[in-house]
Each structure stands twice: as C-alpha cells, then as structure tokens.
Chains A and B, each alone.
Chain A
Amino acid sequence: MRMDIILRVVGKILIPYAVVFALYVQFHGDFGPGGGFQAGVVIAAAVIFYGIIFGLAAARRAVPESLVESMVALGVLVFAGVGVAGIVLGGNYLDYFVLAHDSVHGQHRGILWVEAGVGITVSGVMLKVFYLFTGRARDLEDGP
C-alpha cells in the first residue's frame, strides 16, 4: 500500500491529528471523556495506521521496538510508583491526598500520573502485539 497516493496523503493529514487527539484525551481526561486507556489505544492505532500505509520499517524507525517494549513495563511501574510515593509521603498505598500540600491538588497530581501509567502500558502492549504479528507474517514470507 506504500504506493497508494490517496492513503499516503490522507494518512499524512490525519495521523498527526490522531496523535494530538490522543494527548488531549490523555491530559484532559479529568474534565472531558477519556483517560489513559482511551489515549493509549488511540495513539497505538495512529502508529499502526502509519505502519500500514508507510510500511512496517518506517513505523519501527518512528517508534522503535525497544521503546515499545520498555513502555509495556514502564506504565505499570509509574502506576505502582505513585502508590509507593503515597507511602513514602506518610499516607497509604495509592493515597493521593498526601502527594501535595493541598489534598485536592494531591488528587489532581495522583490521577495525572496514574492515567499516564495506564496510557503508557496500554499503548506499549497494543504496539508490541502489532509488531509481533506483522513481524511473524514477514518471517513466513522470507521462508524457513
């Protein structure tokens, strides 16, 4: 599909907006619909469509596999780290009230980081599964 000019032009126009929309959903989830999970799948879908239109090699250059693999674990660590930060600052596990001098501000900060962790892990897992599936198809084409 790399030669299809309509797909290339539409992809070039739409994919940046999809990524910006994902970031909006991620960081505006406190006020509008959405949150980490939705942002994670939208950003993964944007990269996947980039990979379909411009080729898997281009997608791997833009979002390297090592980064994707680290994201799978990093998100859970961020989420669990927020919980540990609550203990360190004198509260319970996943207690956001102690994360800032003001309890409401602490809630804001905790929710922001927790949602970031969810988004990182979800987009990482989705992209990793995509890379593995498509990589396997290419292996078969290359022959045993």
Chain B
Amino acid sequence: MIETGAIAALLAMMAAVAVAVVRQRNLFAVVVLTTAYSFLMATALAALDAADVAMTEAAVGAGISTVLLLGALHLVGSLEMKPSAGSAVPLAIVVVTGLLVAYGTYGLPAFSDPDAPMHRHVAPRYLQEGPKETGVPNVVTAVLASYRGFDTLGETTVVFTAGIGVIALLRRRRPGEQEDKP
C-alpha cells in the first residue's frame, strides 16, 4: 500500500517535471529538469524492484546523457527559439495519442497479475529450471546472457553500431587534411 502511494507520488512528480520541461525556454534549465526526471524514474523503478533498470536509468539517463546534453548546449547556445507555427495542432495530436495509449492500457492484464499470459508462457520454466540448468541464482542474468543470448548479442551489436556511427560523424579531421583521405 505504501509502495503504491510512493510510486503514484513519483509519477505525479514526473508529470509535473514534464510540464515544466515543456514550458521552460532556457535549455540549461531543461537539461537540469530532465536529469531530475531521470532520477525520479530511477527511484520509481527501484520501488518496482527493477534494480537493474534503475541502475541503468540513474547512470545513463541522469549521468551520461546530462553530460552529453550539456556538451551539446555548449555548441548551440542555451536559449530556445520561439516556435514559428502555433502549437494547437501538435497539442491536439499529443492529446489524442495520449488518450489512445491510456485507452489501450485497459486491454492489458493488471500489474503483476500472476495469470497474465507473459507469466504463463516460458517464465515458469525459467524460474523453475534456470537455477538448476545454469547454476546462476539471478534469473535476470540467466535469461539475458544464456536463454536469450542471441538477443543480447544483437543488442551489443546495436550499441557497437551506434558507437561506430557517432565516430564516423564526429571524428576530428586535422587542419589541412583532405576529405577523401582515410
């Protein structure tokens, strides 16, 4: 009960921060607010017992991406321009999409419902056989690295490809070096 209240409070604070991000014109303040949003998200995930995701959110969302956004602000300046067109149409699209998503949640099984399809498919086998087959007590690690090894290899390749893409775009060329030289 306390947990539900705490998560509801965190979600309400996240909504407030999101509104502040939209209204704020100073981009430095926006970066600070998105950092606060990430920390609230990490706390909510920790309250939901998802320690792995909470750790990632705190390190990537609040730490690394804040540093990268501040580095970007250093390049582009920190005042947002006035939007050229009115905001009525984008606002309508966002509201309609949000209502559709909220309507869609009524089709989902209740949170942590043990009879939900996703808890009855392969999850029971992982939970019962995983520790015996892999000798790894943390089922998350067993599923991630062993049962779903191909998925994780794909994810690592995605991270690798993203890194290569950034290197290709931003690599420094020394002054006087030609475009077509390697």
A in complex with B:
yes
Give residues in A with beta carbon < 8 Å to B: 25, 29-35, 37-38, 41-42, 44-45, 48-49, 52, 69, 72-73, 75-76, 79-80, 83, 94, 96, 103-105, 107-108, 110-111, 114-115, 117-118, 121-122, 124-126, 128-130, 132-137, 139-140
Closest 6 CB pairs of A and B: A125-B163, A33-B51, A104-B135, A133-B71, A41-B59, A107-B134
Chain A residues whose C-beta falls within 8 Å of the C-beta of B55 in the assembled complex? 25, 33-34, 38, 42
Q: Considering the complex, which residues of chain B in the window 147-167 have a beta carbon less than 8 Å from any beta carbon of chain A?
A: 149-150, 152-153, 155-157, 159-160, 162-164, 166-167
Asked if B124 CB lies within 8 Å of chain A CBs, one says no
Nearest neighbor of B132 in chain A, beta-carbon distance: A104
- Is B67 a contact partner of A111 (Cβ separation < 8 A)? no
Chain A residues whose C-beta falls within 8 Å of the C-beta of B163 in the assembled complex? 72, 121, 124-125, 128-129
A137 vs B74: C-alpha distance in the bound complex, in angstroms? Answer: 7
Q: Considering the complex, which residues of chain B in the window 108-159 have a beta carbon less than 8 Å from any beta carbon of chain A?
A: 133-138, 140-142, 144-146, 149-150, 152-153, 155-157, 159
Nearest neighbor of B63 in chain A, beta-carbon distance: A45
- Is B152 a contact partner of A114 (Cβ separation < 8 A)? yes
- Is B146 a contact partner of A107 (Cβ separation < 8 A)? yes
| Nearest CB of B to A143, in Å | 11
Asked if B16 CB lies within 8 Å of chain A CBs, one says no
Nearest neighbor of B135 in chain A, beta-carbon distance: A104
- Is B71 a contact partner of A94 (Cβ separation < 8 A)? no
Asked if B52 CB lies within 8 Å of chain A CBs, one says yes
Chain B residues whose C-beta falls within 8 Å of the C-beta of A79 in the assembled complex? 152-153, 156
Consensus secondary structure, chain B interface: helix
- Which one of B60, B146, B167 contacts A110 once the chains associate, using CB atoms below 8 Å? B146
- Known contacts A35-B140, A69-B167, A107-B146; 19 additional CB pairs below 8 A are A32-B138, A33-B51, A37-B56, A38-B52, A38-B55, A41-B56, A41-B60, A45-B59, A83-B149, A111-B134, A114-B145, A115-B145, A118-B152, A118-B155, A125-B162, A130-B64, A132-B170, A133-B170, A140-B75
A96 vs B136: C-alpha distance in the bound complex, in angstroms? Answer: 13
| Nearest CB of A to B145, in Å | 4
Chain A residues whose C-beta falls within 8 Å of the C-beta of B91 in the assembled complex? none
Nearest neighbor of B67 in chain A, beta-carbon distance: A48
Interface size class of B (residues with CB under 8 A): 35 or more
Q: Tell whether A118 pairs with B138 under 8 Å between CB atoms, given A33-B55, A136-B170.
A: no
Q: Considering the complex, which residues of chain B in the window 46-90 have a beta carbon less than 8 Å from any beta carbon of chain A?
A: 51-52, 55-56, 59-60, 63-64, 67-68, 71-72, 74-75
Asked if B23 CB lies within 8 Å of chain A CBs, one says no
Chain A residues whose C-beta falls within 8 Å of the C-beta of B135 in the assembled complex? 104-105, 107-108
Chain A residues whose C-beta falls within 8 Å of the C-beta of B167 in the assembled complex? 69, 72, 128, 132
Chain B residues whose C-beta falls within 8 Å of the C-beta of A37 in the assembled complex? 56
- Which one of B63, B72, B134, B160 contacts A125 once the chains associate, using CB atoms below 8 Å? B160
Chain B residues whose C-beta falls within 8 Å of the C-beta of A76 in the assembled complex? 156-157, 160
Chain A residues whose C-beta falls within 8 Å of the C-beta of B181 in the assembled complex? none
